[in-house]
Structure formats: structure tokens, C-alpha cells
Amino acid sequence: MNSFTRKTTVKHRTVTLLGGIAAAALLLTGCAAATSDTGAAEKPAAADEPTMAPIAEAVALVPEALAESGTLRVAIPTNEPPTQFYREGTKDMTGINPDMARLVAGALGLEIDIVVSNFDSIIPGLAADRFDMTVSSMTPTEERMESLDFVDYMNMGSAIAVPAGNPGDLSFDNLCGKQVAVLTGSYQLTTYVPSLDEACKAAGKDGLTIQQFQDTRQAISALVSGRADVVYADQPILGYAATQNADIEVAEVNNLDAVAVGSPNSTTLVDAIAEAMKVIIVSPEYTDVLATYGMDSSALTEVRVNFPQG
């Protein structure tokens, strides 16, 4: 079993589980029929809820108060297939993130309570003790590590979506002066957009004009209606949306980064999550969850804790 290498810094603890890492980007493709011009997509078929047997080493590390409560409160973002979406006719969440959360809860010997929340309210909610952890495709950054601990659980790229046929021949290299739709609080907005904007201005060109939305579906609606030139968001969501909406396509994918389970660094829950994830990523349950949503190439081969991206 891989061992921990622990490095302590002023701001946060950094722990690395030794091993290799997969680094292949995934681009979802398909030929499904178009939906309405709102950008809404037919949801993928929901899998049966995955289960994971308790892992004794991880259970032993669960903070006492949480173990006594018996329930893990997990913040999941709003409806964004295929990463998270409601089962048809219900308010039950399924998708990659809820299913990964279920594996972690099972490994910790806890019941799960999924709490749906806007992405930009998740970190404040964790700080206010409304949630115990989040599985929300969140990229670990130095800034976020000021309040959270992170355990990687899969790889995920960023992408830009454009009108079908890409009439503007847009790519990451020529977004200067364009209307760019992003998700409020997203890694794309906080990390990648500033560097793209600075590069434009350094070249004597107009910067990016940013439009912020609470979910990607709203951003896609802006794209389809002509209010935005591109949508810059997580690749799995845009890739899946492009298979469901003939009015858009993914023009380019870049920046393959790990996304991580987040928990408040005021607790020691990160240690239990890391111990659980060591077993989860080599389990058939983990492989099945990724395969169900067409994201086999996003699998990890090592677990990293508090490993900042960007």
C-alpha cells in the first residue's frame, strides 16, 4: 500500500501518496438529438447507487463527533449532467460526484446526506458547518486551502464550447475581446481567465468580457442566444451537453487537473478521506462509476492530499 509523505507549510498541510498519475484528457462525443435552445440536456441514464464496504483503517480516523452523528453531510452543486443530476421524477441526486460521495461515505462507515447548493456557496457553507465535505469537481488551489483540505478523486479538463460549426474559428488562442460565459466561483474564472485576459492586454488587444452564471445550463443558453461567444467550463459537462444540443460543440479542451474532495481544515476528516481513497481508486466500484458516465480516462492512479493546482 502506498505510504504518506507529509510536508507541513505555513498555510496548509501537504500530503502526497506516492505513485504514478494518469494524465489523459477525455473528450466526450456523441450524436444525440438536439434539445431546445435553452441549452438544457437530456440526462444520462442514472446508475444504481454504488456502495462501498467500510474500510477499517478509514473508519478509525473519522472525527469522533462525526462518527457519533453517523451521517456525512455532503455539498453537491446544482443540476449539471453528467457530473450531478436528479433522477427522473425525483429530487434524488446521481452522477459522478454524488456517486463518488457515496463511495467515500460507505468507506467511512457513514450514511450520506446530499445537500444541493450553488457552487459559490459551498465553501462558506463548509466554514459555517452546514456541510462536512464537498464532492463538486472542485480544483484544489492555494487560496481554497486556506480554509479547506483536499483529497484528489479524479482528473478533469476545462473546455470552451462554441456555436456549432465554430463560425468564429475560436480557440484558447484567440479569445481576446470576446464575450466569455463562466460559472461563478469556478476554477476557470478564478485561475485561467485572469491569465488569458492578461495575455490579451499584454499583446495590445482587448481583454475578455466575462459573463458569470450560477450554472452551466444558463451559460449555454447565453451562447445559443448570441449573448456570449464561448462558454468556458468543465469539459465533462460541456462535452455531454454538446452530445445533446446540436447548436453547440466543444472547440478545444485544455488544462487537465485533478479535482478533489474538500473538507474544512478545522477538522481531521481529511485523514479519514485520504485513507478511504487509497482503497477506493483501486476498487471495481470506482472504475464502474467512471465508466457509467463515460469518464474512464479520468481515473487516478495515486491519491494526493492538499496538492495545489494552478
Give the model confidence (pLDDT) of 160-204 as tens digits.
Answer: 999 999 999 999 999 999 999 999 999 999 999 999 999 999 999
Q: How far is CA 149 from the centre of its chain?
A: 15
Q: 22 or 114: whose pLDDT is higher?
A: 114
How far, in Å, CA of 173 to CA of 196, rounded? 9
Convert the pLDDT of each residue in 244-259 to its tens digit: 899 999 999 988 889 9
What totals of helices (H) and strands (E) does the chain contain, helices first? 10, 13
Residues forming beta bridges with residue 179, ordered by sequence position: 209
Asked if residue 4 has pLDDT above 50, the reply is no
Angstrom distance (rounded) from CA 220 to CA 13: 38
pLDDT tens, residue by residue, 206-228: 999 999 999 999 999 999 999 99
Residues 11 and 141 sit within 8 Å (Cβ to Cβ): no
Which residues 6+ apart lie within 8 Å of 211 measured at CB? 179, 180, 181, 182, 219, 222, 227, 228
247 neighbors 163 (Cβ within 8 angstroms): yes
From the number of C-beta atoms within 10 Å of its C-beta (0-12, 13-18, 19+), residue 16 rates as middle
DSSP three-state, residue 110:
coil
Q: Greatest CA separation found in the chain?
A: 60
User: CA–CA separation, 278 vs 280, rounded Å?
Assistant: 6
The answer for residues whose C-beta is within 8 angstroms of residue 273's C-beta and 6 or more apart is: 58, 104, 108, 133, 151, 261, 263
Report d(CA 258, CA 21) in Å as an integer.
10
Delimiting residues of CATH 3.40.190.10 domain(s) in the chain: 4-27+42-156+258-305, 158-255
- Are 136 and 119 in contact, with CB atoms under 8 Å apart? yes
pLDDT at 47: 59
Q: Does domain 158-255 have CATH number 3.40.190.10?
A: yes
pLDDT at residue 1 is higher than 80: no
- The CATH number of the domain covering residues in 4-27+42-156+258-305: 3.40.190.10
The answer to whether the CB of 262 falls within 8 A of the CB of 133 is yes
Q: Roughly how many angstroms between the first and final C-alpha of the chain, as a whole number?
A: 29
